[in-house]
Amino acid sequence: MSDETPISDEALLNILRLTEEASPAPWTSARLAHAYTGESLTAGEFGEYMSHSHRVSQLKDAYFVYVELDDGPADVCHTGNGPRSAWNAALIAAMRNDLPGILVRLERAEAQIEGDRDIQRAALAERDQELLRAAERIAERESQLVIMRSRLEECLVTYPERFDAESLGPVIFRSELLSILERYDIHRAARIAELEAGNDGLEAEIEDR
């Protein structure tokens, strides 16, 4: 099917136009037979059936769909001489002729969507790797942070006189250091949340596709 030519935009718009003008769906195919006995119509009865349709309709032009065979044209179906008969016949012919192109276009659209999904999956895998690298960096910095906190607490306990109110410089240093550590914690938490949100958004986009 991939070797066929996809339906053009013009032909697709034509089918949409015919669909709007033709009889509303749903359509049903049926065997032309006697309503009560189910027996096939004779040639005469079939002729009377067509003649009756022609008499009761205000439109005199009757429409049908045919196919060219090796031994000449052959009827495919009759759509009658009603107000939408011409559109119905045109729609049947257009759908049969353009159906292969419609399927090719659908097949290519699905392939494009799957290709987009592959790109998104690759982006998601890269994002996962980024999250892993970020987690490793955070773990390393947290280890350093633990050491810094431990040393700071040791200094506060071992040399309390250097961090009292009379030693303004060390007090300011201690306050600034604690502030830096606090800001780092806030920044780390925000970065983790940002990466996780981006990862969740990418996964949701792939699922929607």
Residue 91, Cβ density class (10 Å: 0-12 exposed, 13-18 middle, ≥19 buried): buried
| Measured distance CA(175)–CA(168) in Å, rounded | 10
Q: What is the pLDDT of residues 85-144, one digit of tens each?
A: 999 999 999 999 999 999 999 999 999 998 988 888 888 888 888 888 888 888 888 888
Instruction: Look at residue 147 and tell me whether its pLDDT is greater than 60.
Output: yes
What is the pLDDT, as a whole number, of residue 184? Answer: 65
Sign of the alpha-carbon torsion through 90, 91, 96, 97: positive
Q: What percent of the chain has pLDDT over 70?
A: 76
Q: Which residue, among 101, 82, 105, has the nearest Cα to 22 in the 3D structure? A: 82
Q: Between 149 and 94, where is the model more confident?
A: 94
pLDDT at 154 over 80: no
CA–chain centroid gap for 172, Å, is 58
Range 161-172 average pLDDT: 51
Angle 9-21/85-158 helices, nearest 10 degrees?
A: 120
At residue 168, the pLDDT reads: 43
As a whole number, mean pLDDT of residues 204-208 equals: 59
Task: With a cut of 60, say whether residue 173 has pLDDT above it.
Answer: no
Higher pLDDT, 121 or 170: 121
Q: What are phi and psi of 67, to 5 degrees?
A: -130, 145
The percent of residues in the chain predicted with pLDDT above 90, rounded, is 30
Tell me, what's the pLDDT at 66? Answer: 95
Average confidence (pLDDT) over 70-84: 90
Pull the structure tokens for residue 166: 């009379």
